[in-house]
Amino acid sequence: MWDRASETYDTHTGHGMRDPRERAAWTDALGWLLPPPPADVLDAGTGTGVIALVLAKLGYSVRGIDLSEKMLTQARRKAAAAGIDVRFELGDAAAPPGPPASVDVVFSRHLIHMLMEPHRALASWFKLLRPGGRAVIVDGLWGTDPDDRIDDDIQAALPLRAPDTTLDDIRGLVERAGFVDVRVGNLAEVDRVEHEIATEAEPAPDVPHYVITARKPA
């Protein structure tokens, strides 16, 4: 599915960050969601590398992991064109390769709702983080939007796309993985800008972003 989406993924509002206003809103948000650079960041489910490239420009050391080779091809092409150094690797974002306690931040955007076993991903991310490291999860409650449908069999296999999923459910998953200081917020400015730049052909998502930050105990 993601290989098929790779060619047009960046054209959609809320995905490709092609408008400088959207990029600026995300850059501001990332500035307060993450610790100051330099820090080692794993971008789990990096896709076409949109967030990874922004983080690298901000001074972070970034490794992007994705299961789709065609998504990574797009990411590498963009990084080369911009002269930005990011390591993009093929791998499972729910179980990223790497030694334990090797990164300062695990970041994911628009990923956790597409995982069959989100608890397994959180456990893997917890293991990869250094003591005191941070998980940053940006997503939306997509199952609440009847217009945002995917294949029924896939939909049924994804617990966080269930229509009755709540932020408390997701917070509970994060806490049960061992994280502390779990905080739930929003990206109101990003949502505002995405609706401002949306067009009839490329509408903004109707589901607002949520953001969860959490810390591995020191």
- The secondary structure of 77-107 as a DSSP string is HHHHHHT---EEEES-TTS--S-TT-EEEEE
Task: Give residues with Cβ within 8 angstroms of 139, minimum separation 6.
Answer: 108, 109, 110, 111, 112, 113, 160, 209, 210
Task: Return the SS3 of 32.
Answer: helix
Mean pLDDT, range 130-134, rounded to an integer: 98
Instruction: Report the top-level CATH class of 2-215.
Output: alpha beta
d(CA 184, CA 176): 15
Pairing of strands 103-109, 61-66: unpaired
Sheet holding 103-109, edge to edge: 87-90, 61-66, 40-44, 103-109, 129-139, 210-215, 180-186
For residue 128, how many C-alpha atoms fall within 13 Å in the half-sphere facing its CB? 25
% of the chain surpassing 90 pLDDT = 80
Cβ atoms of 88 and 52 closer than 8 Å: yes
Question: Helix 50-57 and helix 69-82: axis angle, to 10°?
Answer: 30
For residue 28, how many C-alpha atoms fall within 13 Å in the half-sphere facing its CB? 12
d(CA 209, CA 218): 29
Side chain identity at 131, as an amino acid letter? P
% of the chain surpassing 70 pLDDT = 99
Distance of CA 92 to the CA centre of its chain: 14
Closest C-alpha to 178, from 133, 117, 111, 209: 133
Strand partners, 107: 43, 136
Residue 210 has pLDDT above 80, yes or no: yes
Side chain identity at 113, as an amino acid letter? H
Buried b (16+ CB within 10 A) or exposed e, 123-154: bbbbbbbbeebbbbbbbbbbbeeeeeeeeeee
- Which H/E stretch holds residue 110? none
- 166-202 pLDDT, tens digit per residue, is 999 999 999 999 999 999 999 999 999 999 998 888 8
Cβ atoms of 105 and 133 closer than 8 Å: yes
The mean predicted confidence, pLDDT, of the chain is 93
Mean pLDDT, range 11-21, rounded to an integer: 80
pTM as predicted: 0.93
d(CA 51, CA 213): 16
pLDDT at 190: 95
Instruction: Kindly report which listed range (96-100, 159-163, 164-168, 196-200) carries the lowest average pLDDT score.
Output: 196-200
Domains of the chain by residue range: 2-215
